Structure 1
Amino acid sequence: MISILIPTYNYNVVPLVKALQGQIHLSQINYEIKVYDDGSTDLPEENEKLPAFQNTIYKKLEKNIGRTAIRNLMATEAKYEWLLFLDADVLPDTIEFLEHYTNAIKNNDYDVVSGGIIYDEIKPSQKQLLRWHYGREREAKSVDERNIEPYFIFSSNLLIKKQLFLEANTVLENYYGLDNSLSNQLKKMNAKVLHIDNPVVHFGLEENEEFIKKALKAVETTVILENKGLMDTNMRPLQKSYSKLKKLHLQHVFSAIISKFKKDMERNFMSEKPNLFWFDLYRLDYYIQLKKKHNA
């Protein structure tokens, strides 16, 4: 019934596979688990134990091909109609995690089922606070909140029909932040999306500096995809904010003001109380600079 697909890079996936195996035996579903390592530079020895688990395939790629390309490969090689994508650094929040998904398949006529994501309530070290705060405030949404913009999904916990995913997952280059592209494609295809309360807990927190770099990479990806005609210009909040500024011819005034506070912002992002509103402004300014560079 379900192919559970877990791409991984430099991460021990054994705890996640163990948790899933326990639930599979309780729910008695037809399943396979595929774990593909995307050319890890620091290959966890624990992952060598994965083939010992029932119906579990572990494949190591010699070369890193990127998040969307490896998902496309896994989807192509999956045997079942439904694909459950999970990131390596998550764990199901409840023992009924797989049961909730199988019930959603049986009782609804949808193409995509999104379970959501949450973060541990235990505060991490200061080096990871920006990522933790961002996740809890911007990603850990209730079902009602997610239904406001139903096509905005996270592939870190996503159940989707195989054929639909292969048609929607069109960008295979090794960019960062391509969930926005997948969301955009699903919207264009009028896919039927169901949001349910079935989260995973995200444990893999990047340190502040690394998270800022990734956030800016995601902004770069947005501009690249816009220029290629592969993403609408009104999907992300920063795109909508930019459009409002541009309409009023204020985008350059905005950047001039932000430039005076950038160093203060960057110090704040490393502090015990990172300001997410400032983080939004920081990324918006970067988006403006990229749009100016590309004459967009």
Structure 2
Amino acid sequence: MTRMIAEAGARQSPPASAGLPEAIDGETIHTNANWTDVTPRLSILVPTYKDSANQLLSMLAACHYAESVEIIVYDDGSQDIALTNAVRESVDAFPGAACLITAEHNKGRSAGRNRLQASSRAPWLVFLDADMIPDDEGFIVRYLKCVQDDPAPRLVVGGFSMKLTPFSSKTDLHRAQSERSECIPAHIRSEEPGRYVFTSNVLAHRDIMNAVPFDPAFSGWGWEDVEWGIRVSRQYPVEHIDNTATHLGLDTAQDLLRKYEQSGANFWLAVERHPDVMEQTPLYRMASMFSRLPGRSLIREISRYVSRMPVWLMPRAIRLLALKTFRAAVYGGARHAGT
């Protein structure tokens, strides 16, 4: 079966350009020795900023048919020489084609993903975050089978898991939040296909990326993938399968709260772009309520305090409720700049 899948993938792949991606805006580009020899059946694209992609590269190298794909890592201006050198070693060791693009300055998540797409060579693209790892060695084969079974352009969402994430009391709140809102089996995600598009593990046809690029108006962390998923679902089929990858990069409560504080503007930009979808979400209703509430600053700080309490002092369910309240209060304040 895997031989048939690989051969089908080879028939669908167009001739790949053997040349290096062209460096722009002060980038440096490093490829391994296999780059010119591999006609990739999939392009696995990894955006990263101050995160090591080494474990992901190692796990992908152990997958069946790793030698038939290309991996491109885009370091979005981390400016960490030790990190760059470590990733270069992993790129050199990868059995397929591999490339590291190092940006001189940070350009944001949307720009990074668009740059990855422009540098890739295969007709089908897998987006994986640097802090993800495939749950088993059949990860690449399952995506190749999707291409074989139906070559029509579409978006395929593989899904999240916590199967390989070590438990830590420091990140228990983020783990609980992810298990509740992100680690959802395909049959449930399929009920609302456009809602559960997490770009940390998706397969997309190149035509989709050409027609629906990520919106560079989204800067910093959050909501650029949700907004992109909404636009894709309006134009292309969205399919959900169980080809999960584990999220290793869980945040401490303090870091998660900080990310929420930084993502308010992106949330309201997503609402502005797609009011018909976003205004139906519970988060929008809560944030709108808080935007009109004079005491939201006090509620925000109380919920921040409760969210950061240890599990032995405050039950996790209450801390999750506090986290949800904090996010809505922050977004409510972000609706009106300076309030």
Q: Same fold by TM (over 0.5)?
A: yes
**Alpha carbons 1:51, 1:58 under 8 Å: kept:** no
Aligned to 2:4: none
SS at match of 1:88: coil
Aligned to 1:39: 77
Residues 197-231 of structure 1: CA distance to partner in whole angstroms, max 9, x if unpaired? 111001112222221121232332021344xx433
Q: What's the C-alpha RMSD, in Å, of the aligned pairs? A: 2.5
2:51 pairs with one of 11, 35, 40: 11
Aligned to 2:234: 188
1:196-275 equivalent positions in 2, closer than 5 A:
196-226=241-271, 229-232=272-275, 234-235=277-278, 236-241=281-286, 252=292, 255-256=293-294, 259-271=297-309, 272=311, 273-274=315-316, 275=319
* Amino acid aligned to 1:35: V
2:208 pairs with one of 160, 164, 186: 164
**Alpha carbons 1:184, 1:232 under 8 Å: kept:** no
* Amino acid aligned to 1:16: L
Aligned to 2:155: 112
Structure with higher RCO (Cα < 8 A, 6+ apart): 1
1:83-94 equivalent positions in 2, closer than 5 A:
83-94=125-136
**Alpha carbons 1:2, 1:83 under 8 Å: kept:** yes
* Amino acid aligned to 2:188: E
Gap runs ≥5 in structure 2: 1-40
SS at match of 1:58: strand
How far off is 1:125 after superposition?
2.8
**Alpha carbons 2:78, 2:106 under 8 Å: kept:** yes
- Alpha-carbon distance between aligned partners in 2 of 1:19 and 1:280, rounded to the nearest angstrom: 33
Q: Return the TM-score normalized by structure 1.
A: 0.85
Aligned to 2:92: 51
Deviates more, 1:9-18 or 1:155-164: 9-18
Alignment: residue pair count: 282
Gap runs ≥5 in structure 1: none
- Alpha-carbon distance between aligned partners in 2 of 1:175 and 1:137, rounded to the nearest angstrom: 24
1:66-145 equivalent positions in 2, closer than 5 A:
66-108=108-150, 109=152, 111-119=154-162, 120=164, 122-126=166-170, 128-145=171-188
* Amino acid aligned to 2:110: T
Q: Return the TM-score normalized by structure 2.
A: 0.75
1:280 pairs with one of 324, 329, 336: 324
* Amino acid aligned to 1:201: T
- Alpha-carbon distance between aligned partners in 2 of 1:47 and 1:105, rounded to the nearest angstrom: 29
- Alpha-carbon distance between aligned partners in 1 of 2:105 and 2:113, rounded to the nearest angstrom: 14
- Alpha-carbon distance between aligned partners in 2 of 1:57 and 1:290, rounded to the nearest angstrom: 39
How far off is 1:123 after superposition?
2.5
SS at match of 2:221: coil
**Alpha carbons 1:110, 1:193 under 8 Å: kept:** no
Give identity over the alignment, percent: 24
* Amino acid aligned to 1:266: R
How far off is 1:265 after superposition?
1.6
